[in-house]
Structure 1
Amino acid sequence: MQTEQTITTRIADYNDACDAEHVLALLDHYARDPMGGGEPLSDYVKDNLISALSSRSFTFSVLAFCGDIPVGLANVIEGFSTFACKPLVNVHDLVVHKDYRGRGISHQLLAAVQQEAEARGCVKITLEVLSDNYNACESYKKFGFAPYTLDPEAGPAQFWQKYL
């Protein structure tokens, strides 16, 4: 009978070659998933992402491990809330390897993000999620996330983009 291994999380060290490899591999796994766009990371991203992240003091990544196996990743970018005049963090990417989903790993990643956000004096954590990604939406709700609204009569905020 095989027992479940403990899941551990920690902040990735971008200067550590193994951590850098884990960040890229998990992000590529996510990018290839339909919820991540269905395309692998470009060679440019693979060649430059780690140095770009490490050069910015307002980014961090959390890795989750099952034993020694990297199974989850959260890439986080610090922003600023003008209404609160305090920093916030945005979970830009959150991925759990498909073979390890359903084990609460996303909550462990988010708990580690929350711990780091609190240490940085942040007012909130934000994230984006596709409206049809029902499993992720339910997981985020269970963790305490809700659609962003200032006035319920005005409806929830929407995340928009414009490519440059």
Structure 2
Amino acid sequence: MTLPTPEAVSAVTITLAEYTDSRHAKDILALMDEYSRHPFGGGVPLPDRCWAELPAKLASFPGAFSVIAYSDGEAVGLVNCFTGFSTFACQPLVNIHDVIVSARVRGKGLCAEMLDFVAREAKKQGCCKLTMEVLEKNRIAQLAYRKAGFKPYTLDEEFGQAEFWQRYL
């Protein structure tokens, strides 16, 4: 899929990643490292273990898929996804785990285009919805996600929004 970028003459190409393709693997790692070094990604370099194992682990993980965006042959965006299951809808869903837009191309609508690509892929897989988590103070990402049709998760307004919790093992 090729899309015009709002403020540039060059086109952006968005594609499903092939984890065993050496270029895609390298690009996934570089974008993940850029994200990891950002304060919203933890503020530290991507761990050595990820550099050594991440593409192979993603390739072997059932339901994992990634979307990469390229501009002028350079990787500028990444969305990592995992298929899950909605017990309430009795259908699969896609959880969007990482959304990365390289700093050099932010503000040009790339996030929305990648999320639309993911939505089309999820529909092909028979999924009922997309889910994601976002940090409470990452207002720029929240705005981008709202523009792409996302909203905080609630079943009933009386009980409030769902929160994303974790427990390390």
Amino acid at match of 1:109: M
Partner SS, residue 84 of structure 2:
strand
Q: Distance in 1 between matches of 2:104 and 2:122?
A: 28
- When structure 1 is superposed on structure 2, of 146-155 and 49-58 the one drifting more is 49-58
Partner SS, residue 64 of structure 1:
strand
* Long gaps (5+) in structure 1: none
Q: Distance in 2 between matches of 1:83 and 1:142?
A: 26
Query: Among the aligned pairs, what percent are the same residue?
Result: 47
What TM-score, normalized to structure 1?
0.97
1:13-52 counterparts in 2 under 5 A? 13-52=18-57
Correspondence for 1:10 among 15, 18, 35: 15
**Consecutive aligned runs of 4 or more in structure 1 exceeding 2 Å deviation:** none
1:6 deviates by 1.0
Correspondence for 1:80 among 80, 85, 88: 85
1:78 deviates by 0.6
What TM-score, normalized to structure 2?
0.94
2:109 counterpart of 1:96: no
* Long gaps (5+) in structure 2: 1-6
User: What are the superposed Cα offsets for residues 18-45 of structure 1, whole Å, 9 maximum, x if unpaired?
Assistant: 0000001001100000111101111111
User: What are the superposed Cα offsets for residues 38-73 of structure 1, whole Å, 9 maximum, x if unpaired?
Assistant: 011111111111111001230000000112010000
Correspondence for 1:137 among 127, 142, 161: 142
Correspondence for 1:147 among 127, 146, 152: 152
Number of residue pairs matched by the alignment: 163
Q: Distance in 2 between matches of 1:3 and 1:33?
A: 25
